[in-house]
Structure 1
Amino acid sequence: MRRTNSKISTWDTLSRLLRNHNHNHKYKHSHNQVFINFRGKELRCSFVSHLVEAFKRHGINFFIDKHEQKGKARKHLFARIKQSRMALTIFSKRYAESRWCLDELAKIKESADKRKLQVVPIFFKVKADSVRYQKAAFGRNFWKLARTSSGEQIKKWKEALESVSDKMGLSLGDN
């Protein structure tokens, strides 16, 4: 994707995906159409804020965890994932620093495996292979977090990273 057209191309691509998905599913107004999974510290005030504004302009119902306290209300957050029909997982270099992001991703994979959720990965300034195989800066962050995590948790995270990063998605920025 060329840099000069990236905002237009990205929105056009996401818009098409959402329209096609909406055409095939009936949504209840109380449910979230799109769950956005991302590393808040890194993307909340940049890419995600633009995405949120575009969703609002186009009337797309979405959920981001901006009002959730870190580490609190996990059941509520997981319920939001279950209510959603689509998840955008925005992988970035610092994504794997967050146990919260990886736990959300594992729940997203679980719903996707049951065919209750469509997942679209977005690789924001990171290569898909770096996510899939936990390499480069992404991998260093993952393995640093893994040192303080259980073997079972690491296994769930790796399976989710491999599964979601293997899906058709978008690559944005210098990666």
Structure 2
Amino acid sequence: MASTWSPRRRWKYDVFLSFRGEDTRETFICHLYHALTAKGIITFIDDESLERGSTIGPSLFTAIQDSSIALVVLSKNFASSSWCLDELSKIIQCKVERRQIVIPIFYKVSPSDVRYQNGSFQLRTVEVREHEEVYGDKDQLKVWSDALRRVSHLSGYDSRKYG
């Protein structure tokens, strides 16, 4: 008699998409999400109905933890969002603690700008200063800076090299 046993799925999602919506949602992310799901890849993408605020919601933290792979799309305005930086910090934590695979996609930005936090990746923006003032968390800047540096050192894709 043949066994119908199958291994229990370890992850709820195959892929978690992390991105700055205003930069990429209606263009690159839309196409990427549809291509992944068309191949049967279970992909988490945030939803417009999720409650927005200054800090990342628990449901997104759970989705990050429940994903085998995180695709981080780093675009021009990514670092101006404390939400995106919180997501990235959690993803880097999951890479270390849960052996999550993290693949950066540098979307029309230089990996070296992310690594050295130049240009739009400087963390001394108005939004970051406002976050520090509202939440009184001066150490958060170090966490975000470290997460940007770590993701920039991972093997990924630079969209400027592709058509």
Give TM-score, length-normalised by structure 2: 0.83
Select the residue among 86, 101, 109 that pairs with 1:126.
109
Report the structure, 1 or 2, having the larger helix content. 1
Q: CA deviation at 1:138?
A: 2.9
Deviations 1:22-75 (A, max 9, x none): xxxx77287011000000111100000000110121111110112422128711
Aligned to 2:52: 70
One-letter amino acid matched to 2:16: F
Select the residue among 43, 46, 62 that pairs with 2:24.
43
Indicate conservation of the 8 Å contact 1:92/1:138, yes or no. Answer: no
Indicate conservation of the 8 Å contact 2:79/2:120, yes or no. Answer: no
Q: CA deviation at 1:125?
A: 0.4
Gap regions ≥5 residues in structure 1: 1-25
Identity of matched residues, %: 37
1-structure distance, mates of 2:145, 2:56: 24
Structure of higher CA gyration radius: 2
| DSSP-derived class of the 1:147 partner | helix
Q: Does 1:97 align with 2:80?
A: yes
1-structure distance, mates of 2:11, 2:157: 28
Indicate conservation of the 8 Å contact 1:32/1:80, yes or no. Answer: yes
Structure 2 matches for 1:77-156, cutoff 5 A? Answer: 77-139=60-122, 142-144=123-125, 145-148=127-130, 149=132, 150-156=137-143
CA 75–89 in structure 1, closer or farther in 2 if over 3 Å, else same? same
Aligned to 1:157: 144
1-structure distance, mates of 2:157, 2:8: 24
1-structure distance, mates of 2:22, 2:88: 17
Give TM-score, length-normalised by structure 1: 0.78
Aligned length: 148
Q: Does 1:60 align with 2:41?
A: yes
One-letter amino acid matched to 2:119: A
CA RMSD across the alignment: 2.1
2-structure distance, mates of 1:163, 1:53: 28
One-letter amino acid matched to 2:69: M
1-structure distance, mates of 2:8, 2:44: 14
2-structure distance, mates of 1:30, 1:170: 24
1-structure distance, mates of 2:64, 2:43: 11
